[in-house]
Chain A
Amino acid sequence: MEQQLQQLKEEALEAIASAADVKSLNGVRVKYLGKKGPITDLLKGMGKLPAEERPKMGALVNEVRGEVTAELESRMAALEEEAVARKLDAESIDVTLPGTPVKTGNHHPLTRIIEEIEDFFISMGYEVAEGPEVEKDYYNFEALNLPKGHPARDMQDSFYITEDILLRTHTSPVQARTMEIKKGKPFKIICPGKVYRRDNDDATHSHQFTQIEGLVVGEDIRMSDLKGTLDRFAKKMFGEEREIRLRPSYFPFTEPSVEMDISCFKCGGSGCNVCKKTGWIEILGAGMVHPNVLRMGGYDPDVHSGFAFGMGPERIAMLKYGIEDIRHFYTDDLRFIGQFRRTEG
């Protein structure tokens, strides 16, 4: 019987080894280990053995059954693995094909610049103030120390609607309106928006464009505060290495008035085509609020002072992104707008 058992084991192991797939291996399981299989038969035949041989034979049969079962299971695992591998292989794809495009749009470059500027000044405690694009002559000019007949009105030929109403030529009327609203309280605002001037559209002129102005009014606001604010702004917007310089200039609504240059971000100041070989790039105009402007806004210039600055997002975008023609901003060509999607830095 022992011999019979040994032979049975060898037979079973060979059948397991030669089973080519899960199905035939299951056949082997039924054949050798099933309820009607030879090993079960052997166990059933134990009763016929003498009592003293039973434990030894029983152990032997169980050992064989264990060995066969283990081998069967390991073979089963191997075959299943193979089957999975074949299936996966059949499912493989060309991962170098392009992915499904995600359809999203993006900001217009001017909005991108304006929001960047807004966010910087918001972080410095400024509010964003807005006002109408169609303005009264009073807010656009008179309240800004530009009475009728003032020679500086020539600087900005305007689109009038009536004698007293025009398309605003700058965002400064928002400053005048804000002073009226704030009623003598200190404040810090920036005013972004569309403005209009009587210009023929060409590569450097647009009858419609955007501006951002800032205004800070309080007690003891100094010109050094203006310089410090602009210095931080320039570094944030154009890079930490930027230097600024102020040059005297003239605006009717500020006194003193300055223009701010930044050291060229392309060449670092050694001179290139962006800075026209000067090492400096003109970015914005600024100054200390003219006492007449404060007075007309309801502030006492003996108590209050302030500074103001203004810049053109178009110019900043043109410098920053190397855009050569202002008309691109108003053509809305997707091949243009679509380029202003990614983050920088």
Chain B
Amino acid sequence: MKISLNWLSDYVDIEGVEPAELAEKITRSGIEVDAVDDRSKGLKNIVVGHVLECNRHPQADKLNICRVDVGEEEPSQIICGAPNVAAGQKVVVARPGARLPGGVKIKKAKLRGEESHGMICSLQELGFDGKVVPKAYASGIYVLPADARPGEDALALLGLDDTVLELDLTPNRSDALSMLGVAYETAAILSRDVKLPETAHEEAAEPASGHLSLRIDAPEANPLYAAKIVRNVKVGESPEWLKARLMAAGVRPLNNIVDITNYVLMEYGQPLHAFDYDRLGTGEIAVRHAAEGEVIQTLDGTERKLEPHHLLITNGRQPVAIAGVMGGANSEVHDGTTTVVIEAAYFDPASVRKTSRELGLRSDASTRFEKGVDTNRVIEAGERAAALMADLAGGEVLSGTVLFDALDKEPKRVTVSPDFINERLGMKIPFEEMEEILDRLQFPYEAVNGQFVIDAPTRRVDISIPEDIVEEIARLYGYDEIPATLPVMESLPGGLTLYQKKRRSVRRYLEGAGLYQAITYSLTSEQESQQFALETAPVTRLLMPMSEERSTLRQSLLPHLLEAVTYNTARQTSSVALYEVGSVFLGKGEDGLPAEVEHAAGAVTGEWTGGGWQGGQKPVDFYTVKGIVEGLAAELGLSGKLTFRKGAMDGLHPGRTADVLLDGERVGIIGQLHPSEQKARDLKDTIVFELNLERLLKEKTEPLLYTPVPKFPSISRDIALVVPKAIQAATLQTTIRANAGNMLKDIRVFDVYEGDRMEEGLKSIAFSLTYLDPERTLTDEEVSEAHCRIVAALEEEGAQVRN
């Protein structure tokens, strides 16, 4: 909302308060002032000129040589390129030495050999937004009224001797969508009075009701409808002051009748509509809901198809306006209009809101109706418009108002005690100061048994409960006055849950292991949403996605994580190690909500070790990442419980993928990207993992108990085997473990060889076994005996034991 201070001072005295100071006060007490626009800033030496002569420039088709009276003895010669310049006009002249917005300086100049002493200005050149410039002057110079005096300062005429405050309103303060509302607010802040606009006007003897009948078929949606009739109006341009105020408020002037309805809309926050009585044609206004499939052409020339819950103003036969949203083209006021019907009505906020949303039509009117206009000023606003039409358009107001009124205009009564206010704030504001604030707000109240019984003015639709009064008192008393204390309450332990603690250690572990934390988007394309998913479930798709790319919730973290890897490798970061902890969304969970399962995923590509001047660079491989996952299991106390087996997943290398199992259930996957996937993503060898973190974190682990440090020495024995390539290390380990007896403490693979020196199809694998008895020193004989059992068992399974 743009507030012209010149306009505001019609209703409240702001004398002696600098605009910046006023803006600060308004901001600190409740309504944020976004900008303070001094409209005269940078403007200088701009006067009214009278174009005495206007002749085509001999050297240039599009230029005119004008002789302009600027209030001095001699007229000035000014070259003007505007198509609408003509002799006899009063125009805005920037004289030599003048300043225009953007630091433009006007100097004497020669244009195609002719001297020009200044410039005739368009409104845009004076800093007006093209959107508010009247259409007639949109692509040319502005023409002032004939009574403007040459040499007079043009800034005042154009309303540029003004400062405009731009308010950023929160949705509750719809009262400030009007000059009057802002006047009440300003008056409360400055402790001054409010002066209301003049609504008195003469009326003809003839009653309006003789010319117009009114029927309201939907009183819930339209509880109040007031119509005034003004006849013999002369449609034309509005006076300069009115146009200037509308433009300052951001409204484009059109003609005096429409301008007056807009002016009152801005003044009262009450939207009005003006119908051409003759075009209405029936002498009747009937308000009803639309019929199925009914169509109206609105003022903007668009055909709109309506639904049965849309409220219409009709002439009894056909729609003439969508109630509270936009007028129809068929009944619009035009240059030849002589009789006007002014509509001042109250439409149900929810109904207007729904209609304007559904039709995609948001107007100054609908934004005000949908927040609720002041029930007690609807009729008054209509009177104000009639008074202005009589005054500015020469109209004759017929007597009385054609009225339907079933609107509840009772103020909301709020009862609140000063103690409640002070307790809620943690303050000790004296009773008298609260009274003073209520007076400044012009909230009528009575003090009954130590309580305030307040009738909240109907302009303040946001006031309805005691807490609202707490806020009103506090904001005007000043939030700076509130002391700083801490809650006094039973002491609560606080802290992280076990799950949250474990999740933090997972992050720290993965970072310690060399991975950087990524955060990617949860929304992806439907097509990609299930790629790499550990468990697929119905997808969760948005009703109205902004793009297909962000239409569906992910079921795996990997697609976006891999996108981030590619993003990095495409920018000269060849080694990338990223992880993410985040939720995946599995449709058909409880309550219709998808199950959200927290996962951890990682993706690593490029060199893993080395990279310094010492060399030793080694690219990441499957075992690097498996080591990270095993380390994570150790971190979470799941070392023994997490097992691995050959796995498979689309997009992963079929020979280099492992399922991660917890109690036999798949809880994760580790693998190298499939070569075709790597190619598609423009990546070198990339190893990924994804784990159902939630499952891992919720797994109960044994309490951490100390195992005594062995007092007796252990004995190590190595076994080197030659086996077919397909035999897995895990199988051999199982055999070893099964035959070793309980002295075996540890099995470690320390060498695997599959190279040229081996026979085709065979590999060698060497284990180091550690034997220990915590109670005594083992003898060589017992270890040898166990070792022989193992060797025998392995040989039985086809392994050759090498010595």
Using a CB–CB cutoff of 8 Å, the interface residues on chain A facing chain B are 97-101, 103-108, 110-111, 115, 118, 121-128, 130, 132-136, 149, 151-152, 154-155, 159-162, 164-165, 167, 186-188, 194, 196, 198, 200, 207-208, 216, 218-225, 227-229, 231-232, 245-250, 255-258, 288, 290-291, 305, 329-335, 337-338
Contact = CB atoms under 8 A, between A and B. Distances in A.
Given A222-B485, A249-B170, A334-B576, A111 B517 contact: yes
A331 B568 CA distance: 9
A256 B485 contact: no
A228 B488 contact: no
B731 interface: no
For A247, A331, A332, which residue has the most chain B Cβ atoms within 10 angstroms? A332
B593 A107 contact: no
A167 B521 CA distance: 13
B523 interface: yes
Given A115-B504, A222-B425, A105 B519 contact: no
B399 to A, nearest CB: 38
Interface residues of B, number: 94
Contact of A334 (B371, B523, B573): B573
Given A105-B511, A255-B471, A207 B611 contact: no
Contacts of A223: 424-427, 474, 482
Contacts, number: 249
Contact of A225 (B426, B492, B614): B426
Given A103-B577, A118-B496, A134-B593, 14 more contacts: A122-B496, A125-B491, A125-B494, A127-B494, A133-B522, A136-B591, A154-B171, A160-B542, A224-B427, A224-B483, A248-B474, A249-B170, A256-B471, A333-B571
A308 to B, nearest CB: 13
Contact of A160 (B543, B567, B576): B543
Contacts of B540: 134, 161
A133 B511 contact: no
Interface of B: 27-30, 32, 170-173, 349-350, 353-354, 370-371, 423-427, 465, 467-468, 470-471, 474-475, 479-480, 482-497, 500, 504, 507, 510-523, 540-546, 550, 553, 564, 567-568, 571, 573, 576-579, 582-583, 585, 591-594, 596, 608-609, 611-614
Contacts of A132: 593, 596
Contacts of A126: 492, 494
A151 B171 contact: yes
A257 B471 contact: yes
A207 to B, nearest CB: 7
Nearest to A217: B489
B484 A227 contact: yes
Given A160-B544, A223-B482, A134 B497 contact: no
A342 B287 CA distance: 69
A164 B425 CA distance: 36
Contacts of B486: 124, 225, 228-229, 232
A333 B483 CA distance: 45
A248 B370 CA distance: 23
Contacts of A258: 479
Contacts of A186: 489-490, 492
A226 B568 CA distance: 43
Contacts of B425: 222-224
A122 B495 contact: yes
Top 5 A-B pairs ranked by shortest CB distance? A224-B426, A222-B426, A256-B471, A250-B170, A228-B484
12 contacts: A108-B516, A108-B518, A111-B517, A132-B596, A151-B349, A161-B541, A188-B489, A188-B494, A248-B471, A248-B479, A249-B170, A258-B479
Nearest to B500: A128
Contacts of B487: 188, 216, 218, 221-222, 225, 229
Contacts of A104: 511-514
A187 B571 contact: no
A332 B543 contact: no
A81 to B, nearest CB: 32
Nearest to A160: B543
Contacts of B523: 159, 196, 207-208
Nearest to A101: B612
